[in-house]
Amino acid sequence: MAGTAEFHSSTGFCGTLKGVPAINLDRSADVASEGSGGLPRGLWEWLQVFGPGAIVASLTIGTGELVFSSRGGAIFGYRCLFLFAVILLLKWALVFAAARQMVLTGVHPYERMLELPGPRGWLVWVTLLIAATCLPIWVSFHCGVLGNLTAWVTGTQAVWNGGVDYLWGAGMLAVVLVLTWRSGYSRLERIQLVIVAAMILAATVTLVLYRPDWWALLRGAVVPQPLSYPAWLPGRYPHVAAEPVWVEATRYVGVIGGGAFDYLAYVSFVRARGWGQAGRDPAAAEPLAAVAAAPAHPARRWTRAPLVDSALSFLVVFVFSAVFVASGSVVLGPRHVLPDETNLLGLQAAFVTGIHPWLLPLYLVGALLAMLGTLYGTLEVACSLVAELARCVDRDWARRHAQRVRRGTLIWCAVGAGGILWWLGAYQSLGAPGRPRLLLAILTPANVLTGVLGCGLVCLLNLWTDRRCLPRALQQPSWLALLNLVAAGVFLGVGLKGLYDLAR
């Protein structure tokens, strides 16, 4: 159709954008020579680039907002919003800096890791080891949350002393694996856009209907306040109160907004969109000196695409954080209850049933879709990460064996997550009634590694790449470099402290 352009990738149709020439990964090297006609021209067209960011937002909404924002609101009230705002700002700086470099150079951060001082590819192999260990843990956690919700809905929570949660979770994993086996980026983007749009509408309506203390909400978001456990927590949840506040806060730092692997996958999704020089073969890319010499060069102007996309993504996440922190503070805190392993999503039903009991089915459908989207997205992120790792080691081999790499990754995640679910189910079923569950205990170290320490390492890589590989005219603005420097210090410091507290 005239006036409508199609973004294509190796996985198929990704979306349409009026007035933008067709971009294909095989010809994305031509983008730099097409002039400004390839760029969106108005606010509405720029808003239509939102796609990869929707995936990142939906990945965190499932557990980050539904579970941990509600939990933070119940424990700390509005005070935790400032922590969330700072986390999201620093993670946004990380994402935009990495995506910006991809748009300008067409080189993924994994390829930059090969250029680091020391044995060639040492950080690539460290990343692969962490991914191989932690991604099945994340998949099993999402499955456990889905299983817990299903057990609550079906009234089977007490079966096998609660071990039935993990059986339900294994069933959910099997369903999502069938969907993921032959899927790819284009379908993922379409699914997550629908989920995010529907949840934005529901969350906004919910917040307005609850009429929270708007001044306290605003103050909690912009004024730093100390975090401390409420007086009722030790009596109701002694296992939570036994942990330092630092460990509880570290969970939020890792979960809210996503983790390092989500952001490295985001850069791959930018390649699928073909923004600027992203997606082209670096050997055929336009020399950076030529890009640096032209302030109006299309590749430099295309950096606005990840700016808009990532900013919208983190704005959506913050809105959800505010909604569920407020809901947790208004609904759960006064009742002295909070989401934990025994009931991760059931308590939040009170957020809508307090408005009207008939809204319960709407909540259940929304929570189920959000968590399924998170699980589905996590598997796609795993496939993207391993594909990029293979690509940076041997591009031709990775291209020839793309499907084999993808299916091998899915099998690894499925077998690893299935084994964890089986072990958790056996542990819970064979113990005495009321035995403490280990779902969060298993997640916490993986969360610190991928959601906190990993983010700090990517920030350092952003800074190193900027100074080492880009001409001065293409380097990050001072404010973005400063944010990445601060983020590196915060994430590395918090992550190391979190691991130290866990090891004690």
pLDDT bucket at 6, cuts 50 / 70 / 90: very low
Taking a C-beta distance cutoff of 8 angstroms, is the pair 273, 51 a contact?
A: yes
Query: Is residue 26 scored above 50 in pLDDT?
Result: no
Topology given in CATH for the domain delimited by 4-503: Hydantoin permease (1.10.4160)
- Residue 197 token pair: 């749009």
Instruction: Look up residue 105 and give its two tokens.
Output: 């150079």
| HEC assignment per residue over 249-287 | HHHHHHHCCCCHHHHHHHHHHHHHHCCCCCCCCHHHCCC
Tokens of 150: 């299903």
Give me the mean pLDDT over the 50-67 stretch: 75
Report which listed range, 117-131, 247-261, 354-368, 481-495, is most confident: 481-495
Within 8 A by CB and 6+ apart from 428, the residues are 160, 161, 162, 163, 165, 166, 435, 437
Specify whether the CB–CB gap between 365 and 384 falls below 8 A.
no
| Distant-in-sequence, close-in-space partners of 238: CB < 8 Å, separation ≥ 6 | none
Of 63-77, 357-371, 385-399, the one with minimum mean pLDDT is 357-371
Report pLDDT digits (tens) over 271-320: 888 888 887 776 667 888 889 998 888 889 889 889 989 998 899 889 88
Helices (H), 50-184: 52-60, 70-76, 80-105, 109-113, 122-154, 164-181
Which of 12-21, 68-77, 90-99 bottoms out in mean pLDDT, i.e. has the lowest? 12-21
